[in-house]
Every structure is written in C-alpha cells, then in structure tokens.
Amino acid sequence: MSTSEPRLEVPWVEKYRPSKIAEVVNNEDAKKKYVAWINAWLRGKPQKKAALLYGPPGSGKTSIVHATAREFNWELIELNASDVRSREALRQRVSGALDTGSVFGYQGKIILLDEVDGISTREDAGGLQAILELIEKTRWPIVLTANDPWDPKLRTLRDACELIEFKKIGKRDVVKVLESICQKEKIECPKEVLSAIADNSKGDLRAAINDLQSIALGKKTLSVADLQVLGDRAEQENMFEIVRTVLTAKSPEQALSVTRLPSLDYEMLLQWLSENIPYQYEQSLQAIADAYNALSWADIMLSRMKREQQWSLLSYALELMTAGVSSSRERPPFKFVKYSFPEKIRILARQKEKFEEYRKVVREASSRLHVSTSKFRTEVQPYLQVILEEDEEEGKMILRSLGIPENKINVVFKTEEKAHS
C-alpha cells in the first residue's frame, strides 16, 4: 500500500461530471431526443414543457441535466423525491423560483426533480398533483427522472412529459471512463482491475466511479488484490443484513460497502442504526458513544444537504453513518444480535393511521354539513364535544346523523390533538 496521504476530496462522481451534453457517456439516441427537446425550449415552442428521463441507475439521467445547466449557463434548481412529497413543500422550494428571473449572471433556469417514482400517492398526498401544476405554469424547462416510469401512479406525469429512455451503459464505455479518471488522478491501474469494477457495477457508471475511488483512496498504484474490499454487488439485501454489515464490519471499507447497494435507503438506514447500536455494542459504553456521535453528524449532514440542496454532502453523510459508526475506539467482540425495527417509525406509522382515520371521518361529517373540514374542526367539533360530555345519548344521536358511528367517536374526540402534534 502506498504511503502517500489519502486524498479526502470531492466525490469523483461530482468532480468528473460532464460539463457538456455531448460528454455524457453513450445513450446517443436519448441524447439526440433530449437535445431536440431543449432546442424546442430555446425556440420558445416546446410541445411538452417537461421531459421524463427514465432508465437504470447510473445511466446518465442526472448528469445530462447538470451538463445542460453548465453548457447553457442556466441556474439548476435540483430537488430529490423526498423534497416534493407535498404540494406545500414543492410550492416553497420551487414555485417562487419560477416567477422570478435568474440571478448571478445565469442565462436561464432548469428544474430537476429526481427519482419521482419514489413518491407514494398514498403517503405523499398532493406531491404528484403539485408537479403537474408546476409543469402547467412553468416558464423554464423541467426534467423528471425515474428508474421505472411505467408505474400506474405516474400515468398522468407520463402524459405531460416527453419520454426519453436511457439504457444501461456498456462495459466498454464504463472502462473508458474509469481509464480517463485514472489518468487525471495519476493512478496506475491494470486493465483487468477496471474490467472487474465495470463487471461489478452492472452498467451503473456512478457505482463504478464510486468503487474506483473507494479502492484508490490513498494509493497511486492499484492491483487485483484491492478489489477484495468491494465484494459482490448485491441486487437486493434486506435491512437486517445491511445493519449487521455496518455494526460488525471488520474494516471501514467493509462498512462502506453497503453504500454501493443500488436499493439502499439511507434515511431508513439511519433510523435502523439509531435503534440497534445499543444492542450490538452493549458491552462498551465508549463504542455506543462513538457510534452515536458519528450518526449525529451524519444526520446533520443530511439535514444540511436537503435544506441547502448541497447533494455533494451525501457522500460524507454515508461515510459517517457506515464507516464512522463502525470505527469506535473500543469495539466490543462480535455477538449475534436480533435487530429491532425502529420504534420511531412504528410510532409514526400508527399515528399516521389514526390521523388518516380521523380525516376520513371528519370529511364525511363536514360534507353532510356542507362546510370545509377546517371549519368543522374549529367551529363545529368543539360544540359537539361539549354536547357529548353533557348528554352522551344526545351527542351520539347527533354524531350518527353526521355519519360518525359510535365506534368512531374516540377517533374524532380523543385522538385529534395527537394526530396534529
């Protein structure tokens, strides 16, 4: 291993993002269709105001939007699916920007809504409708990305967008990109190592670049032996095994390996780790303290990343919640632990179920009175509460006339405060 100082720097996927559309690897047909759509915007006559780029992870969907912003000197307004889960969230983050001109010398704007197939129509009520409203009134190009655009919930979005398919990047092109990065980083790397990284990435260029950076950290020369830290890329792995990998890792590289799982939900991982650290490290208070310290910094990074749209902070958050959590100064010996589902998520789910039940009952009652649900809660419900307390039978009769059966009375009059807290 080289004794040179490790290069703690910007993630290479960000450092070597294409600066022009033509530099995006492969997918020539997709690029041609995308450029035609952009040119229609430049002429002021787009047939569709939004484009939906779909395809497997690491195929260039996000990179081509970043390249567009750089090439045309446009301001990039980028949000992930987790930022557009409600109409109000979208209005606060994007709608204001649509009504104003660009600042800081930009020639225009482009809006990127990443991973829209991650929005749930049931859990993220209003999010999809808000996106459609945004598309309808926008004065700037809007790009959506998705891995699977054929989900029935996305039908209305598909109808409103120019559909552009990005296909998995071939191994030869992945190797070429890795070779170019090695040259720029002045790293000697045998062709068979780059070939193995490309095979392991399964066409995901972003994953391949991350893998290369992982094994090249602090080194000027790479060999086949360095590939051992990668392991095989799992298509799917349940959260129990992911948590076990992090908390029992024998090296930082092993803990970091879970960040290369294509389906990793890093916000869920943070909750699982927070719940189970004490069980795995119960023999060492120092290990528990160190692990929670790293996890708290990861949480800070994630919050700042979303608040300031600094997506480059994600890599640091992932390192903290994996390698950081597992790198305690006093790691206790291994023991098998049956991990627990995060109680916080369980409680929130129960509260959400109660709130949804409450909303359903209130909607029925307010519709019979021909008032809004808000007016029902503020002007009708308090009086019903008093009647119910003074004369229970009379109160129940009134509630039945409003479509509130007796078995739902507790839902309305005993859980409202909890539901709104």
Q: Please check if 61 is assigned to a binding site.
A: yes
Q: Please check if 333 is assigned to a binding site.
A: no
* Nearest-5° Cα angle at 254, 56 to 296: 85
- Chosen CATH of 234-341 out of 3.40.1130, 1.10.3470, 1.20.272, 3.30.70: 1.20.272
pLDDT digits (tens, 9 = 90+) for 237-278: 467 778 888 888 878 888 888 887 656 778 888 988 998 899
Question: Does the pLDDT value for residue 404 go beyond 70?
Answer: yes
CATH code assigned to 27-165: 3.40.50.300
Q: Please check if 152 is assigned to a binding site.
A: no
Q: Please check if 62 is assigned to a binding site.
A: yes
Band of pLDDT at residue 2, cut at 50, 70 and 90: very low
Residue that wins the pLDDT comparison between 236 and 213: 213
Question: Does the pLDDT value for residue 231 go beyond 60?
Answer: no
Residue that wins the pLDDT comparison between 387 and 355: 387
pLDDT at 216: 85
Band of pLDDT at residue 175, cut at 50, 70 and 90: very high
Q: Please check if 59 is assigned to a binding site.
A: yes
pLDDT at 123: 47
Q: Please check if 60 is assigned to a binding site.
A: yes
> Where are the domains positioned within the chain?
27-165, 234-341, 344-420
pLDDT at 390: 82
pLDDT digits (tens, 9 = 90+) for 16-56: 989 999 999 989 999 999 999 999 999 888 999 999 999 98
